[in-house]
């Protein structure tokens, strides 16, 4: 009996994390983060990589940007995108980015790219 309870609890946590990852991935494309930071969050010459950075760091940056706190003109660019994020959006995006599976672009489900990917 105790085993079953623990198992159900464990699955609940695993599935909740999985759902957060999927929501974060969807937001990453829907909120156009991918257009600057790259479809695999790998970054470009002008925009930083986000994939697999530490969650506490990513969260702090997004919360700062959301209240308009930026340390440079280039960071100022982020404010308009972060302003529209809810706490839950930030949690999901941060979970997705900090656990990024480094998928190749062609492995990303086409639905996330609105049919324009791959
Ligand atoms: C128009 C381009 C653009 C878009 C769209 C964009 N960003 Fe950014 N992002 C930037 C720039 C520029 C910086 C600041 C780079 C610097 O520090 O000079 C940045 C920085 C960040 C950082 C801090 C990274 C670090 O290493 O310091 C995070 C986190 C981030 N963006 C997340 C997002 C998320 C999530 C979205 C979508 C909601 C998004 N960005 C959309 C351009 C963009």
Structural domain harbouring 97: 2-104
30 within domain boundaries: yes
Residues 27-85 have pLDDT tens digits of: 999 999 999 999 999 998 889 999 999 999 999 999 999 999 999 999 999 999 999 99
109 within domain boundaries: no
27 within domain boundaries: yes
Question: In terms of Cα–Cα distance, which of 105, 107, 106, 99 is closest to 19?
Answer: 99
**Per-residue confidence (pLDDT) for residue 13, from 0 to 100:** 85
Q: What's the chain's length in residues?
A: 118
**Per-residue confidence (pLDDT) for residue 118, from 0 to 100:** 36
- Cα–ligand 1 centroid distance for 9 (angstroms): 35
What separation in angstroms does the CA of 30 have from each of 38, 73, 81? Answer: 13, 25, 11
The SS3 assignment for 30 reads helix
Distance, CA of 85 to CA of 72 (rounded, Å): 21
Q: Would you say residue 7 has pLDDT above 80?
A: yes
Q: Give the residues surrounding ligand 1 with Cβ less than 6 Å away.
A: 31-33, 35-37, 47-48, 50, 53, 58, 61-62, 72, 74-75, 77-78, 81, 93
* Closest atom, ligand 1, to C-alpha of 71: 17
**Per-residue confidence (pLDDT) for residue 104, from 0 to 100:** 55
Residues 75-113 have pLDDT tens digits of: 999 999 999 999 999 999 999 999 998 655 555 555 555
- Cα–ligand 1 centroid distance for 48 (angstroms): 7
**Count of domains observed in the chain:** 1
118 within domain boundaries: no
């Amino acid at each position: 009996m105790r085993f079953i309870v623990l198992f159900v609890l464990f699955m609940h946590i695993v599935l909740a994390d999985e759902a957060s990852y999927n929501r974060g991935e969807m937001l990453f494309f829907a909120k156009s983060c991918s257009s600057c930071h790259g479809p695999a969050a790998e970054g470009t010459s002008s925009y930083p990589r986000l994939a697999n950075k530490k969650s506490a760091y990513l969260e702090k940056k997004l919360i700062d940007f959301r209240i308009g706190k930026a340390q440079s003109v280039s960071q100022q660019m982020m404010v308009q995108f972060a302003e529209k994020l809810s706490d839950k959006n930030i949690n999901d995006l941060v979970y997705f980015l900090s656990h990024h599976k480094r998928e190749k672009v062609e492995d990303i489900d086409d639905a996330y790219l609105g049919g324009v990917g791959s």
